[in-house]
Amino acid sequence: MCGPQLKEELDFWGLREVDIEPCCWSSFSQSMQTVTSLKQLEIDRNPSYMQPSQQASDANTTDRICHVTRLRLWNLLTDPSNSRASKIYAYVSLVFVLLAIFSFCASTHKLFDIAESENNQTDSNDDTSQDTKLNTTANHSSLYQAPTTPTPEDTHLPAHWQESFSSRVHPALLYIDIICLVFFTVEYLVKLVCASPRCQFITSITAVIDLLAILPDYIELLLYLFFPELLVKENTGIIDFMPFLRLMRAFRIFRLIRRVPGLWIMMYTLRASCKELSLMLVFLLVGTLLFASIIFFVDDPKIFTSIPHGFWWAIVTMTTVGYGDMAPVTAWGQIVGSVTAICGVLIVGFTIPSLVNNFITYYNHIEFVVQKERLLKVLAEEEMQERKGELSSQHGKFEKHIGGQNGSRLDLKDNRLGSRDLAGNRDGLAHSATGRDCMDEERELGGGDGAGD
- Using pLDDT thresholds of 50, 70 and 90, give the confidence band for residue 202: confident
Residues 70 and 193 in one domain: yes
Contact 317, 285 (CB under 8 A): no
pLDDT of residue 370: 79
Q: Name the pTM for this structure.
A: 0.63
Residues 198 and 285 in one domain: no
Residues 431-452 have a mean pLDDT of 52
Closest by CA position to 66, among listed 80, 77, 79, 52 = 52
Q: Range with the lowest mean pLDDT among 141-145, 188-192, 272-276, 353-357?
A: 141-145
Residues 344 and 211 in one domain: no
Task: Pick 128 or 392 by higher pLDDT.
Answer: 392
Contact 44, 38 (CB under 8 A): no
Domain presence at residue 205: yes
pLDDT of residue 426: 54
Residues 291-307 have a mean pLDDT of 93
Domain presence at residue 232: yes
Domain boundary among 365, 386, 407: 386
Using the predicted structure, report yes or no on whether residue 315 has a pLDDT greater than 90.
yes
pLDDT of residue 283: 92
Counting other chains too, the contacts that 56-64 makes at CB distance below 8 Å and 24 or more residues apart are: none
Domain boundary among 386, 421, 441: 386
Residues 131 and 158 in one domain: yes
Using the predicted structure, report yes or no on whether residue 118 has a pLDDT greater than 60.
no
Residues 80-98 have a mean pLDDT of 87
Using the predicted structure, report yes or no on whether residue 412 has a pLDDT greater than 80.
no
User: What rounded mean pLDDT belongs to the chain?
Assistant: 74
Using the predicted structure, report yes or no on whether residue 140 has a pLDDT greater than 80.
no
- Measure the CA–CA gap between 144 and 137, rounded to whole angstroms: 5
Domain presence at residue 436: no
Residue 206 has phi, psi (to 5 degrees) of -65, -40
Domain boundary among 386, 409, 431: 386
Residues 180 and 89 in one domain: yes
- Measure the CA–CA gap between 7 and 16, rounded to whole angstroms: 9
Residue 324 has phi, psi (to 5 degrees) of 90, 0
Residues 179 and 90 in one domain: yes
Number of domains, the chain: 3
pLDDT of residue 377: 81
Using the predicted structure, report yes or no on whether residue 408 has a pLDDT greater than 70.
no
Closest by CA position to 248, among listed 392, 337, 163, 141 = 141
Residues 223 and 160 in one domain: yes
Residues 343 and 374 in one domain: yes
Domain presence at residue 251: yes
Residues 161 and 227 in one domain: yes
Domain presence at residue 101: yes
Q: Which domain holds residue 35?
A: 3-45
Residues 137 and 222 in one domain: yes
Using the predicted structure, report yes or no on whether residue 60 has a pLDDT greater than 50.
yes
Using the predicted structure, report yes or no on whether residue 358 has a pLDDT greater than 60.
yes
Domain presence at residue 225: yes
Using the predicted structure, report yes or no on whether residue 311 has a pLDDT greater than 90.
yes
Contact 359, 269 (CB under 8 A): yes
Residues 213 and 319 in one domain: no
Residue 14, phi-psi category: left (phi > 0), alpha (psi -120 to 50), beta (remainder): left
The proportion of the chain whose per-residue pLDDT surpasses 70, expressed as a percent, equals 67
Q: How far apart are the first and last CA of the chain?
A: 135
CATH number of residue 373's parent domain: 1.10.287.70
Residues 415-435 have a mean pLDDT of 54
Domain presence at residue 358: yes
Residues 27 and 89 in one domain: no
pLDDT of residue 332: 93
> Using alpha carbons only, what angle is made at residue 433 by residues 427 and 434, rounded to the nearest 5 degrees?
90
How does pLDDT run across 146-187, given as a tens digit for each residue? 444 444 444 444 554 444 444 566 788 888 988 998 999 999
Domain presence at residue 443: no
The proportion of the chain whose per-residue pLDDT surpasses 90, expressed as a percent, equals 16
Using the predicted structure, report yes or no on whether residue 57 has a pLDDT greater than 50.
no
